[in-house]
Structure formats: C-alpha cells, structure tokens
Amino acid sequence: MEMLTLSNVSKRFGSHQILNDLSFQVSENTIYGFIGENGAGKTTTMKMILGLYSVDSGVIQVNGERVTYGQTNTNRYIGYLPDVPEFYGYMTPTEYLRLCGEITGVAESQIKNRIPELLELVGLEKANKRIQGFSRGMKQRLGIAQALLNKPKILICDEPTSALDPIGRKEIIDILQSIKKQTTVIFSTHILSDVERICDEIGLLHNGTLALNGTLEEIRNMRKSDGFMIEFDKVDDAKNFANIYMGCEFLSGTELSFNGKTKEDMMAAMRLLYENQIYPVKIEMREPTLESLFLEVVSK
C-alpha cells in the first residue's frame, strides 16, 4: 500500500521555481531517504505534505486522502519532527508528552500507557530532569517520542541527525530502524552514510524533480563501479606503477586510485604489474557509493 503519493507537484516562490512536476511514492513500512543539496526543496516538499504550503499544481495524497492547504485533516496520519524541535524547558519529558496528548485529543487511558512506552523506546525512561537541561541528542529523541504519540502511519523527520555527534546520530538511526514495522518513515538528511545504513528507498531531489529514485541497489546498479584501487607494500612500487599506468591518483604513499575505470581496465593493470614484476598487496574494484552518485548528479 502507498502511504504517500506525490503526482506532478510544482511549487514556485516568486520567480524561483522550487519544485517542477515532482512525482514519487512511498510504500507502507518503508524508510525513505529524501536527499538533496541545500535549497533543493526538501523542506518545502515536507511542508506541502503537512498542508502548511499550498501546491501550485499537482496532487499530494496521504494514506489515499488528498492533502489540502490549510485543511490539515490528513495530518492525523502524520508525525512530524522538525530539524530543531522546540519544547517547554521547565517541563519534564512526561509532563511535556502528557500536554501534547491532551492538546491533540488523545484519550487519557492511551496517554497513561503510551508515554512510558515511548520514553523507553527513545531511551529517556530514566530522564526525569527538566527538558532545559537536555542535550541536543536527548531533545531529538524526545521529539521523536512526541511525533509518535498518536501512533502515526507516517513519521516525517527533517534533518534529525544534522547537528549530533556520532553517538547521538547512532541513537536516532537505531530508533528509526526499530519503528519501521509500525510506521513509514520519511527521512530527510545531508548525511549520506546514514541513508545508506537504514533506508529502503532513496529519492535525490535536484532541479525541482527526482534525479534518482529507487532502492539503493537499483541506484548503485546505474553505475557498476567507481573504478579500482591498488595498494603496494613499498612507496617506490607505487611511484613506478603510476609512471607506467597514467591517469591514476595517489590515495596515500602506497595506494593508487583509478577512478571511473572498468574491470577490463583493472585486468589490463594486472597484466602490466606482472610484466613489470611489480607486486601489489591488494587490488580491488570499488563499489559506487551514494556520495559519488550524489556528487555526479548535482555537478551536472
């Protein structure tokens, strides 16, 4: 089942075209990585999904219902975590979540049971101090708990790991991975390694439309490799081979990179190594990374 569908969506601010005939779908229980350079329109797209911005043309549907600007009925299916969530600092996590539940009309019996579950999920079950004393990572985790309070069908996360240290990023990534069976996740980020770790599908927004869209495997298969590398035991061996096989780059004193080369090129390099009696420590093809594909698209 498709939980989110954008069909031919366009959006302009003044003379600046943000989105141009944008279309994609996100299936149920999927973690969808929504990536793109700064200003690509990711946040604008998410705000249109939430009904906070109008759509110039096209249709957005959440759980089969059309999203209408200013009439946010479809938001009952959505939990939203902004890039910098705001809280009442004088409250404890339990007090804050209870307030959010009361405001949104969650039944008292559900609030009572739901809050301990969520605090345990995000690792804040023992955090009884006021929110003003929380670290950035703790606040992001509390933001996820708040966004999940109503058991949404879709969780939209706008740069949830952008300002966190590696431990904080891992905590957020682990939480998103753990809730996949309960909700669909739209995960906007600049940190491509996080996308590679947890996302089932990826959409790369560029020039107002999706330049790449599909599973990570499908996207990687668009380009079979990023060339190959050869590691030598001695610096002199690396220098000698660099003079024989032109067009390589030094990764270090003993490592050479052959960017954009094929397996056939690697076989030719192996023949040259044998003919010149130069013995490497390691030779390997490099799989295309999401970062290299991203840079290739945005540089066009």
Task: Label residue 223 by pLDDT band (50, 70, 90).
Answer: low
pLDDT at 63: 95
Instruction: Give 192-203 pLDDT, tens digit per residue.
Output: 888 888 999 999
Task: Label residue 85 by pLDDT band (50, 70, 90).
Answer: confident
pLDDT at 260: 77
Q: Average of pLDDT values for 223-239?
A: 86
**HEC string for 16-81:** EEEEEEEEEEEECCCEEEEECCCCCCHHHHHHHHCCCCCCCEEEEEECCEECECCECHHHHHEEEE
Reply yes or no on whether the pLDDT at 212 is more than 70. Answer: yes
Instruction: Give 3-48 pLDDT, tens digit per residue.
Output: 999 999 999 999 999 999 999 999 999 999 999 888 889 999 999 9
Percentage of the residues of the chain whose pLDDT score is greater than 90: 59
φ/ψ of 281, rounded to 5, equals -85, -40
Reply yes or no on whether the pLDDT at 299 is more than 70. Answer: no
Task: Label residue 241 by pLDDT band (50, 70, 90).
Answer: very high
pLDDT at 224: 61
Reply yes or no on whether the pLDDT at 220 is more than 80. Answer: no
Q: Average of pLDDT values for 277-283?
A: 93
What is the per-residue DSSP string for 148-204?
A: TTT--SEEEEESTTTT--HHHHHHHHHHHHHTTTTSEEEEE-S-HHHHHHH-SEEEE
For the chain, the structural domain boundaries read 2-220, 228-298
Other C-beta atoms within 10 Å of 13: how many? Answer: 11
Instruction: Give 51-63 pLDDT, tens digit per residue.
Output: 999 999 999 999 9
pLDDT at 203: 93
Reply yes or no on whether the pLDDT at 296 is more than 80. Answer: no
Rounded Cα distance, 105 and 29, in Å: 25
Domain 2-220: top CATH class: alpha beta
